[in-house]
Amino acid sequence: MIEFIDAHVHIRTGDKARLSSDPYVIANPEGMSDHPDAMAEMYRELKGMAVVFDIDDETRTGLKASNEELAGWVRKHPDVFIGFGTVDPWKGRAAIREVELCHDLGLRGVKFHPAVQDFAPNDPRFFPLWETCARLGLAVLFHTGTTMAAAGQPGGGGIRLEYGRPIPYIDDIAARFPDLRIIMAHPAWPWHEEQLAVLRHKPNVAMDLSGWAPKYIPQSVIHYANTLVQDKVFFGSDFPMLTPQRWLREFAELPIKDAVRPKILRDNVVRFLGLSDLVRG
């Protein structure tokens, strides 16, 4: 029986797989391996599954990810890995073809990081991407809130944090594309109140709690996750930045209702992504 689904896990593919580490992901202090085989075994031992993805920001950094490689890892470890593709939104028609490839590869969604990929999600130039994802039934996962990517570098490495705001960016897309399933990654600090407003208002939007050790998650997010948006919040670790072991340990100490815990840990994301075929039994 699958006890949880970690909705936010990084895998390095393509050019990034050949680096010693992903420049945009901080290695966990426990030193756990981020090699996909080791990750699969970790989740297997924990009786969990993981939504895995990379970030293709080739236009900005010159580093291209590979959806074919990611799909290969999912095929190798189908009992623990659920695949999301990644698309560089600046590639025009090629980006649309890449979304179609993600669908053909059997991936369940597409990951975007507006700040790292340097784009405003509600720019009309990117509407064909959202139209295609909605048409093909692919969910989209958007980074929201601040980011540690390039933190401390001169000018923050040129990264603009504004692109992580839920309002107007996510709210605008959710309004224009009501059939598009959208997941906001992370408590969107310092705009987490905006995030909660979008969750309450837009039926097609959910969020994950990744990137924050549970004891540091803003109290308003915990309150709403325990009450008004309890059906729209997912467990996510952000591994390898944060281990699922630590996240689960600290989550167990939060004042979450017994009826809500399984929703956050598994049931909500199963329903939102249509994963009952994977977790049955």
Question: Which top CATH class is 4-279?
Answer: alpha beta
pLDDT of residue 7: 98
Cα separation, 12 vs 24, in Å, equals 11
pLDDT of residue 153: 87
pLDDT in tens, the chain (281 residues): 899 999 999 999 999 888 876 665 666 767 789 999 999 999 999 999 999 999 999 999 999 999 999 999 999 999 999 999 999 999 999 999 999 999 999 999 999 999 999 999 999 999 999 999 999 999 999 999 999 887 888 998 889 999 999 999 999 999 999 999 999 999 999 999 999 999 999 999 999 999 999 999 999 999 999 999 999 999 999 999 999 999 999 999 999 999 999 999 999 999 999 999 888 64
pLDDT of residue 174: 98
pLDDT of residue 149: 84
pLDDT of residue 152: 85
* 149 token code pair: 């990517």
| Residue 158: strand pairing partners | none
Among 257, 279, 227, CA closest to 47:
279
pTM: 0.95
Among 214, 238, 244, CA closest to 8:
238
What SS3 state is found at 231? Answer: coil
Among all chains, which residue has been given the structure tokens 């958007």? Answer: 142
Say if CB 43 and CB 273 are below 8 A apart: no
pLDDT of residue 150: 77
pLDDT of residue 29: 67
